[in-house]
Every structure is written in C-alpha cells, then in structure tokens.
C-alpha cells in the first residue's frame, strides 16, 4: 500500500474544477464505465463509432457532443485483421483520414490482474495523452479470474480507477451478460464503476440504458446501425426537431455553402431576418454551424455547416428549394 495522502475539510470548500464530459450526458473525464450486453449486441461496433467521434471531435449519433482527444482501443477479442476492417468501415462512415488520433493494440495479451500490465496500460494512456480508452473485453484482460469472486475482480477495478483518476482518461470496458440478462460477475464490478450501461440489439437498432450513473442523469436511448459494403454508420433514432428559422438557415447554407450573415438574413424564407440571426447563434452552440472567419470590431460573420450539420442536411434532403416554406410548413 502506498502512503495515503491526507486531506483537510478546507480543501473541499475551495473552488473545485468542473466535471468535464468527454461524451455529453454519457461519460466524464477520469471515469470508469462498463458496457454490458449479449454477444452480437453491437458493443464493439458502438464503441468503435464512439471512439472515432471522440478522436475527430464529432458529436456521437449527431446528438451527443464530444471533447476531441486521443483514443486508445485495447482489442483482445477481434484480432488485428478483423479489427482493421471494422475500424476502416467506421472511419469511412465518418469521412476521416489517416491523421485521426486513434491508437489501438490487438491481442497483446494484457492481464490486468498483474501490476506490471496495469502499469503498461497507464504508460500508454499517459504517454499518448489518451482522452478515452476502450477495453474489449473484460474477460480477456482478466484471464483465469473468477468473475464472481471479489478478491479477483476488486483489485482490477481499483487499478483501473486509479489510472483513470491519475490520467483523467475515461475508461470504458466491454463486458458480457449472464444467462439472466444482467452483467456477468461480482458485485464489485457495479460497485467500482461510475457508469454501468446495458446494451440490447433488436434488428439493426441498439438500445443503451443506464443501470448506474454517478456524474450524469439516468438515460435510455437508441441508435440505428447502417452496414454498407465499405462503411459503417450509426444514427440516433430520436428525431432532432428544428425551428422554422433553424431549418431555413441549414437549408440555405446547405445549398450556398459558406455564407455571410447579411446574405442569410436578406434571403430569409418563412422567418424574419432577426429570427435567422438568432437561429445561427443557436445552431453554432448545438454544433451544426461554425464561424469560418475571425471576429473583431465591424467584422461580418461568415458561417458554414459542420460535419454534423452536413449530415443533417443530407439525411433530411434540405437544400433550399423555394418556396419550401409554403410547401413544407404544415409538416414542420
């Protein structure tokens, strides 16, 4: 045991740093999470997709903002050939290139019951400034452990918690369910994690439900998987609702590309120019628009769609089509 560091109550009354969410409403910096489901429930595909979004700084499922950072995926289940094919499809789905800061190991035979292997994992996370680490799967990094025995499982979970706390990396562990449909193994797993997330796949729709959360509100949401020959994508099944002015702005920029605020306001269809201006501000905050020129006194803003904004425009077929408002208003 290391010598414990003693703290005083006065420290708790001092200003505290905020809890930073790596994925909005899902996981935070320095957290340890377990995501559990049956075999074939889409756990690996889902976390590959989430990892690519974090590495690229894109919103996951177009609804959950991420903080961009380096990602590490510890694959002890798929094998290098299969993993490379899967990652390639996910990267193609997001339109990212080889510069993506996504690191991975495959079948390196990590045994996190050994202090040396926990230290090696910490070295990788710290050495490459990893923001998110995914471990696939728990049984593969605890070989020979009795998953129902606290004495076997607790030291591993404590080791991962120490690494997460020290490095501020969010660690997500893929795990499997038991025959009863709950996560397999000791209650030490649930007791040690910040988030326990269950996954269930029905057809091509995956549902995520929180069984335990510490830093976020309880949640349940679903996503639809899209498999194509050379790419993989996931999208939220929850339709994002936009106001009339927001829809106009997305349509206008979708057709015209990078646009000046004055042009967007002057061509407003179905809304007032000031409503279009307010919509631009809101869409920037939501991550669907970005300002493309520097600010400053007297400098007019130019705006373009982000990748998430472009995806929304494509999914909804939203280029400007005058007079769209007269035709579509009843359906908004």
Confidence check: pLDDT of 320 > 60: no
Beta bridge partners of 170: 132
- Which comes out higher in pLDDT, residue 299 or 42? 42
Contact 58, 98 (CB under 8 A): no
Q: Tell me the pLDDT of the chain averaged across its residues.
A: 89
pLDDT score recorded for residue 327: 44
249: confidence class by pLDDT, cuts 50, 70, 90: very high
Three-class HEC string of the chain: CCCCCCCCHHHHHCCCCCCCEEECCCEECCCEEEEEECCCCCHHHHHHHHHHHHHHCCCECCCECECCCEEEEEECCCCHHHHHHHHHHHHHHHCCCCCCCEEEEECCCCCCCCHHHHHHHHHHHHHCCEEEEEEECHHHHCCCCCCCCHHHHHHHHHHHHHHHHHHCCEEEEEEEECCCCCECCCHHHHHHCCEEEEEEEECCEEEEEEEEECCCCCCEEEEEEEECCCCEEEEECCCCCCCHHHHHHHHHHHHHCCEEHHHHHHCCCCCCHHHHHHHHHHHHHHCCEEECCCCCCCCCCEEEECHHHHHHHHHHCCCCCCCHHHHHHHHC
Mean pLDDT in residue range 185-206? 90
Confidence check: pLDDT of 52 > 80: yes
| CATH T-level topology, domain 19-236 | Rossmann fold (3.40.50)
100: confidence class by pLDDT, cuts 50, 70, 90: very high
Question: For 236-259, b where at least 16 C-beta lie within 10 A, e where not — what string?
Answer: beeeeebebbbbbbbbbbbeeeeb
Confidence check: pLDDT of 14 > 90: yes
Mean pLDDT in residue range 255-264? 92
pLDDT score recorded for residue 1: 63
93: confidence class by pLDDT, cuts 50, 70, 90: very high
In this predicted structure, which of 198-212, 281-295, 315-329 has the lowest mean pLDDT? 315-329
What is the Cα–Cα distance from 34 to 107, expressed in whole angstroms? 20
pLDDT score recorded for residue 278: 93
Beta bridge partners of 200: 207
Mean pLDDT in residue range 83-105? 96
pLDDT score recorded for residue 298: 78
Q: What are the extents of the domains in the chain?
A: 19-236, 244-331
Residues 60-86: pLDDT tens digits?
998 899 999 999 999 999 999 999 999
Pick the CATH number of 244-331 from 1.50.10.10, 3.50.40.10, 3.40.50.1010, 1.10.10.10: 1.10.10.10
Confidence check: pLDDT of 239 > 80: no
């Amino acid at each position: 045991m290391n010598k414990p560091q003693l703290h005083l109550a006065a420290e708790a009354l001092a200003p505290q740093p905020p809890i930073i969410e790596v994925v909005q409403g899902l996981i935070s910096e320095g957290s340890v999470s377990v995501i559990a489901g049956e075999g074939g429930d889409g756990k690996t595909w889902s976390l590959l997709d989430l990892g690519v979004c974090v590495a690229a700084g894109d919103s996951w499922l177009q609804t959950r903002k991420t903080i961009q950072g380096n990602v590490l995926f510890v694959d002890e289940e798929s094998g290098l050939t299969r993993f490379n094919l899967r990652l390639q499809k996910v990267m193609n789905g997001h339109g990212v290139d080889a510069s993506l800061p996504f690191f991975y190991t495959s079948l390196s035979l990590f045994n996190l019951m050994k202090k040396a292997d926990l230290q090696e994992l910490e070295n990788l996370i710290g050495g490459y400034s990893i923001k998110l680490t995914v471990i696939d799967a728990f049984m593969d990094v605890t070989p020979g452990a009795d998953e129902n025995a606290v004495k076997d499982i607790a030291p591993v979970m404590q080791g991962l918690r120490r690494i997460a706390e020290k490095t501020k990396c969010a660690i997500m562990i893929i795990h499997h369910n038991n025959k009863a449909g709950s996560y397999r193994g000791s209650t030490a797993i649930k007791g040690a994690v910040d988030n326990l997330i269950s996954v269930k796949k029905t057809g091509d729709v995956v549902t995520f439900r929180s069984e335990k959360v510490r830093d976020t509100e309880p949640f349940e949401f679903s996503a639809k998987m899209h498999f194509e020959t050379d790419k993989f994508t996931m999208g939220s099944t929850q339709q994002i609702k936009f106001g009339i002015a927001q829809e106009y702005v997305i349509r206008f920029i979708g057709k015209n590309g990078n646009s000046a605020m004055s042009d967007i306001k002057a061509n407003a269809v179905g809304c007032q120019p000031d409503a279009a201006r307010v919509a631009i501000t809101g869409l920037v905050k939501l991550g669907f628009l970005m300002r493309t020129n520097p600010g400053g006194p007297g400098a007019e803003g130019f705006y373009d769609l982000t990748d998430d904004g472009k995806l929304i425009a494509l999914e909804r077929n939203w280029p400007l089509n005058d007079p769209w408002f007269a035709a579509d208003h009843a359906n908004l």
